Structure 1
Amino acid sequence: MGITTISSREFNQHASEAKKAANDGPVFITDRGRPAHVLLSIEEYRKLTGQEKSLAEALAQQGDEADFDFEIPRIEIYSKPVDFP
């Protein structure tokens, strides 16, 4: 895990590079040479805050990261024509 430090000016000019760097570790953003903000990936933020995945995120898991098998059953819906007087 690497730590990156950039100035707020660099962050404003190169936000996409800062986001890529956040995938490898925290990005400290300085204001006048002093740390002012930290950019983290959402995964790292959730680890720090202890947040669980939402139901939608859990159901959207694919490939090797899926914890369980889930198959949505098909439901047959039958309708009758309505006779209005």
Structure 2
Amino acid sequence: MTMMSAREFNRDVSAAKREASRGPVVITDRGEPAYVLLSIDDYRRFGERGASLIERLSMDDDLDIEFEPVGIGLKVPEL
């Protein structure tokens, strides 16, 4: 993913559009991400489908993860 400052974006919009044709471009404002520039194809794939947030974040494959038990070691206070 390409990142460019708002100043760079304002100076060279054509370069931002070229980069957006390859993938999302994050435009920063004072060093913090503020905007994302997408090609229309990416926008349609991400946004116009009407998919819910859950559908967008869900994975097609199941993950095989094993968690180890955690011991906390709590003590009962004496009365």
d(CA) in 2 for partners of 1:14 and 1:28?
14
State the number of aligned residues: 49
Unaligned 5+ runs, structure 1: 52-85
Q: Which residue of 1 aligns with 2:22?
A: 24
Distance 1:39 1:48 in 2: 12
- Write the distance in 1 (CA, Å) between the matches of 2:2 and 2:12: 13
Cα deviation, residue 28, structure 1: 0.2
1:26-41 paired onto structure 2 within 5 Å: 26-41=24-39
Unaligned runs of 5+ in 2: 51-79
Percent of aligned pairs sharing the same letter: 55
**Greater Rg, structure 1 or structure 2?**
1
CA RMSD in angstroms, aligned pairs only: 1.0
Normalised by the length of structure 2, the TM-score is 0.60
User: Structure 1 segments of 4 or more deviating over 6 A?
Assistant: none
Could you say what secondary structure the match of 2:22 adopts? coil
Say which of 8, 11, 14 aligns to 1:13. Answer: 11
TM-score w.r.t. length of structure 1 = 0.56
CA distance in 1, matches of 2:7, 2:46: 27
